[in-house]
Structure 1
Amino acid sequence: MAWSTRELADLAGTTVNAIRHYHALGLLDEPPRTYNGYKQYGVRDLVSLLRLRKLAGLGLPLAQIDTTDEGDATEALRRADTVLREEIERFRRSRAGIAALLHSGAPADTPSGFEAVGARLAESDRALIHVCTRIYSPAALARLRLMVSAESAEVRGRLHALIPGASESTRDRLAEDLAQDGAHWRSTVWLEQTEWGTHEPYPTRVTEHAFVEALTTLYNRAQQDVLRRADVALGRRAHVGQPDSGSLLCRSPVSTPATRRETSRAAS
């Protein structure tokens, strides 16, 4: 008994379009036709179609199924297993990230690893952390998470409530409070002292400029001034540089630590 395309699709649990697609790719042989042009499928066609669906269901790409012997698909299966394992790990990380966001109530755009504090951060802080995740090493990011978590909510609130016309005394007090416990996480002083990744042990001109550009874009002028004053206070306490030039925020781009190192190496 011969089956039509629709009957074959029903028997195999697939669609007519899928069968036509297999024909177009050369994975399923064209069957003989009746005098009026209708295809006539038999048992061997059904078995071939079921085999194709089984291999595709295991995750083998159709291009690999085309070159896979029926009796030996071991290597193709190994490759498919690797791809599936990587996909499963990616989905696991995604689910863990979603669970952390739902548990903490943090905004969906909170950088990975900062979900626990994301709900307490202003949009500008979350944006700066996004930049940091691209320029800091994993070890530095771990320390950054601790610094962000330990930051005083009161001081953070004062910083983000700061208006451009804030008084000198207000700025000075806030800068001193930011520098009270050492380098704060928005500090360019901490940026210079940070351990970088294995491929780039020191901050480069691009990464330094990216950090400083983020500060000057995401925070208003009064907030930038407070961050600069806090960096100056940190530099003064550490006896590094002059009190009026302790921050990358108040330097020319050509005088950053990265460019000074490049100049020194060229001279040697």
Structure 2
Amino acid sequence: MTWSTSELAELATTTVNTVRHYHRCGLLDEPRRRSNGYKQYGVTHLVRLLQIRRLRDIGVPLAEIETTGSSVGTSAEVLTAIDANLADVIESSLRTRAQIALLLEHGSITEVPAGLEHTALGMTPAERSIALVYSQIYDPKTMDDVRDIIESDDDAATIAFEALPADADADTRTRLADEFADTIAKAMVEYPWMNEPNARLMGSPELAGEAIAETIREFYNTAQLDVLLRATVIARQRHR
């Protein structure tokens, strides 16, 4: 019993072009032809084709498939590399599923970076947006610190700063800047990188700095920006 190219492809659940490609790669021997020129494939061709498909299905590149006599295989090194890659893919998929579960649990809050889902509901819109931008320009270790800072920023000065209206008078701004400076100075002690934040950036310091500045200007009003600037200057003086 022999089969044509299309019949062989159908039996192996593949395509005629794939069969021809395996011929060109030297993985599948050319069969004998009938007097009319049509190819005659036999069981040995079908078995070889299925063996190749088996390796391809588990991710073995064609270039790494070896043929010796009637057997088809690949090296242990290739299989080990494929297994390691699959392990990475599985780990990434598990992390993604965990993030999806958190988003579903907390109302699909997508405006915060991974790791802040648990605290997202207690964050202001400004904090969420700034944290999301930070996650793109700071390394993962820094983002762990940012999460800790956000989770512990329930002191009176921080709460007053977040609620500060744009028309706050000068005395209110001055008083709050002095109080908020203590919060910032404390953070500088606990997280020394805040004194040299550019050292933790993952990209261009200039571009990252522009992104941070624009984001802060976008989400804080004029009074808050004034207080933040003054408080930062005072905090640096106190931290010396």
Question: Which category of TM-score, normalised to the shorter sequence, fits these structures?
Answer: 0.7 to 0.9
TM-fit CA distance, 1:209: 3.1
| Aligned residue pair count | 233
In the alignment, is residue 108 of structure 1 matched against residue 110 of structure 2?
A: yes
TM-fit CA distance, 1:177: 5.7
Which letter does structure 1 place at the counterpart of 2:94? R
CA distance in 2, matches of 1:81, 1:215: 45
CA distance in 1, matches of 2:231, 2:103: 32
Q: Please state which structure has a larger fraction of its residues in strand.
A: 2
| Match of residue 74 from structure 1 | 76
TM-fit CA distance, 1:49: 0.7
Which letter does structure 2 place at the counterpart of 1:191? M
Q: TM-score, normalised by structure 2?
A: 0.72
Identity rate, percent:
39
| Match of residue 135 from structure 2 | 133
Question: 5+ residue gaps in structure 2?
Answer: none
Report which structure shows greater RCO (CA 8 Å, sep ≥6). Answer: 2
| Match of residue 99 from structure 1 | 101
Question: 5+ residue gaps in structure 1?
Answer: 241-268
| Match of residue 224 from structure 1 | 225
TM-fit CA distance, 1:228: 1.3
Q: Is the partner of 1:215 in helix, strand or coil?
A: helix
The within-5 A match list for 1:37-186 is 37-65=37-65, 67=66, 70=72, 73-133=75-135, 136=138, 138-152=140-154, 164-172=166-174, 174-175=176-177, 178-179=180-181, 181-183=183-185
TM-fit CA distance, 1:64: 1.9
User: Residues 185 and 127 of structure 1: is their aligned pair in 2 closer, same or farther, counting only changes over 3 Å?
Assistant: farther
Q: Please state which structure has a larger fraction of its residues in helix.
A: 2
Farther off after superposition, 21-30 or 91-100: 21-30
User: Residues 71 and 24 of structure 1: is their aligned pair in 2 closer, same or farther, counting only changes over 3 Å?
Assistant: closer
* Contact 1:60–1:76 (Cα < 8 Å) also in 2: yes
User: Residues 21 and 99 of structure 1: is their aligned pair in 2 closer, same or farther, counting only changes over 3 Å?
Assistant: farther
| Match of residue 192 from structure 1 | 195
* Contact 1:137–1:195 (Cα < 8 Å) also in 2: no
CA distance in 2, matches of 1:214, 1:185: 21
Which letter does structure 2 place at the counterpart of 1:29? D
Report the aligned-residue RMSD: 4.0
Cα offsets for 1:201-248 (capped at 9, x unmatched):
xxx964883544543455343332121133244345x264xxxxxxxx
